[in-house]
Structure 1
Amino acid sequence: MNNVRTEVSFSQKRPVWTVVIIELLLLLAMMASGTYATLNELNYAAPVLIAFIPIALVLVIYFTLRNKWSMLGFRPLRSISPRHWVYYSPLAAILLINCLKGFRGIGVSEVLFLIFFTLLVGFVEESIYRGLILKTLLAKGVKTAVITSSILFAVTHILNALSGQSLAQTALQIVYALLMGAVLALLMVKTNNIVPLILFHFLHNLIQFAGNDNSSAFIGYDLLILLVLAGQCFWISKSLSNG
């Protein structure tokens, strides 16, 4: 009888260390690009472009060479059960609420740039947090994977405190990111499809970047979105616990 030895990857043997390494590498890349952009007085988008374009290329190459696309949730939308689509409906409400803030006047060239920029951010952040990190931590249980990936997603947004925001705005953004991360992680567990999450992330950021600049005037809208996200977390969590 032949003994077949199954190769166990580092992420399977050390899921926690794998996640720590991924998060630290991402934070280091963002801090280095932010420092470079500040020293060279580049615009607001430069740090993200400098960090995320190489990361996106590495992710595409890694997913392709290791045949990870399907395993990480890159599946056709038709793979989502019709009865599960209802769980995405609060995300549509969030996009609508953000649209109610209005939009500033921008040209075609800036629109095209924002489409590229927000698609890049959506792909990279979802691939890392709801793809690599969440999937790796599922070995420790769904609750651990969802909570940890959401916290790390929020921690990454603390770097925005360095961009001149007030403490209150930064705190709101961290809570916003924490709840958003939890909702997207729960949806990933529910449907195992990352494509709708990337599309939502892209549209959400696109609307925000193209929207009115005076965010402090729309604090009520943000608080409403937090309530929607909290309700969605409870709803999906209950559906998962009920099987």
Structure 2
Amino acid sequence: MNKKQSLVNKYPLVTAFVALVIAFVLLLTIKTDGTVLQNLRQEVPLTILTLGLVVAIGGFKLIKFQSNGLGFTFRKSIIYLIPGILVASSTIFAAISAHRALQPNLILLILEGVFFYSLLGFFEEGMFRGVILQALLAKFGKTRRGLFGAIIIGGIIFGFVHILLGWFQSGVDLSVLGLLQALVKTLSAGMAGYFFGAIYLKTKNLWGIAIVHGLSDFLLMIGNLMFTGSNSVSYVSSDPKQAMTTLLINTIFILIYIPLVVGATRQLKSLTLPQLGFYRENWK
């Protein structure tokens, strides 16, 4: 183990915290206009940072492509993809009904979107499952209670960070509707994080969860790309009508994710202990 690997392995929770802070700084300082190309200015360095850190922690084998577990990941993720399919269908149907015109550079936008959401999947899964969850496992993964605690805390962090970034950018909305939107988004994204954490521990394959994550987000935004050219998103709105729509959508997501959480819980109960992650174990 080289000196850099020794340092990040010695202090996993500190490493995870510093990585998250750096990611926040990049997101807040690199400004975008909501278009895919502008958002890539954020996503490229974030992905390089995250995958570089994963390699520093556990070596290149952690990001090397492997087919092992991909089929399992996609079979388990069918339900997870349903919200994206529903949102894509409803957005496209509403735009067609309103006689909105497709973007003139539609093909280019879709190709840019595929690239962007591929990077997004690897950044978010690399950061939250490949760095933060692994740090929590290194600390708490010796016992079954600790394993569940690590997965739950990792999921909550993943969910809340979506809201925290918006608060940094637009200010904290302490109204009832604002707090409700923050709560349901944190819960829905947290449930997804819990599910992805369980899948990752089962397959030990970052590619599967990164691809599924990126595909889901692409489906959620494909309608906007086709008719507005933008992939910007806001999880908390001050407009009452938009706020109610956001609450409804995330509540539906929560209901759809319940079977995923149940299945992930069964899966976690079947894992052998300890589960210390690749900070402490030699993942194969």
Q: Aligned-pair distance for 1:58?
A: 3.9
Give the whole-Å Cα distance in 2 for the aligned partners of 1:172 and 1:96.
Answer: 18
Distance 1:149 1:219, change over 3 A: closer
TM-score by length of 1: 0.76
- 2:166 is the alignment partner of 1:152: no
Give the whole-Å Cα distance in 2 for the aligned partners of 1:225 and 1:122.
Answer: 21
RMSD in angstroms over aligned alpha carbons? 3.5
Give the structure 2 partner of residue 201 of structure 1: 213
Q: How does 1:56-135 map to 2 (within 5 A)?
A: 56-59=47-50, 68-70=59-61, 72=62, 74-77=64-67, 79-80=68-69, 85=72, 88-101=74-87, 102=89, 103-104=91-92, 106=102, 107-135=106-134
Identity %: 22
Distance 1:11 1:31, change over 3 A: same
Give the whole-Å Cα distance in 1 for the aligned partners of 2:161 and 2:266.
Answer: 26
- 2:5 is the alignment partner of 1:17: no
Deviations 1:63-91 (A, max 9, x none): 67887231x364411x3398xx2x65341
How many residues are aligned here?
Answer: 228
Q: Aligned-pair distance for 1:9?
A: 0.9
Give the whole-Å Cα distance in 2 for the aligned partners of 1:220 and 1:151.
Answer: 16
Give the structure 1 partner of residue 256 of structure 2: 225
Give secondary structure in 1 for the equivalent of 2:59.
coil
Distance 1:242 1:223, change over 3 A: same
Distance 1:225 1:242, change over 3 A: farther
TM-score by length of 2: 0.66
Distance 1:61 1:180, change over 3 A: closer
Q: Aligned-pair distance for 1:59?
A: 4.5
Give secondary structure in 1 for the equivalent of 2:271.
helix
Q: Aligned-pair distance for 1:131?
A: 1.3
The question of whether the paired residues in 1 share the 8 Å contact of 2:84 and 2:217 is answered with no
Q: Aligned-pair distance for 1:25?
A: 1.1
Moved more, 158-167 or 6-15: 158-167
